[in-house]
Amino acid sequence: MIKLLKLQKAVFVLILGVLSYIAYRVLEANEVSWARYFQILAGVLVMVGALWMLYPILFAKKDDDGNAEIITDPTVEAPVDEEEEKPATE
């Protein structure tokens, strides 16, 4: 699903944010004066990753029925759902 929605980079940024926070905690325990810059970097990376995760939702195209159609990676094969029959209304 992550590859299908082109979210690999967002996940990578989130992982970098977590690793940066771990580095901050280690450096802070050793009382390194510049450890807070890793904390700042971790916060920025997590915010950017979270906003990047929202990208497919915010920029989804809507069809005529008002349903959102999320653009996916064309190189990834997605399982095709069977067409549901809509009940006829009179």
CB neighbours (10 Å) of residue 17? 20
pLDDT, one tens digit per residue, over 39-53 is 999 999 999 999 988
Residue 27 lies in a domain: yes
Residue 28: how many CA atoms within 13 Å on its side-chain side? 11
In a domain, 43, yes or no: yes
Neighbours of 10 (CB within 10 A): 20
pLDDT at position 17 is: 97
User: Is the pLDDT confidence value at 20 over 80?
Assistant: yes
Q: How many domains does the chain have?
A: 1
Residue 72 has pLDDT above 70, yes or no: no
Given this model, what pLDDT does residue 30 score?
Answer: 94
**pLDDT given at position 64:** 66
**Cα–Cα distance between 90 and 87 in angstroms, integer?**
10
List, in sequence order, the alpha helices (H) in the chain. 8-29, 36-58
Range of the domain at 48: 8-69
Q: What is the mean pLDDT of residues 72-83?
A: 66
Q: Is 88 a domain residue?
A: no
Amino acid present at 58? L
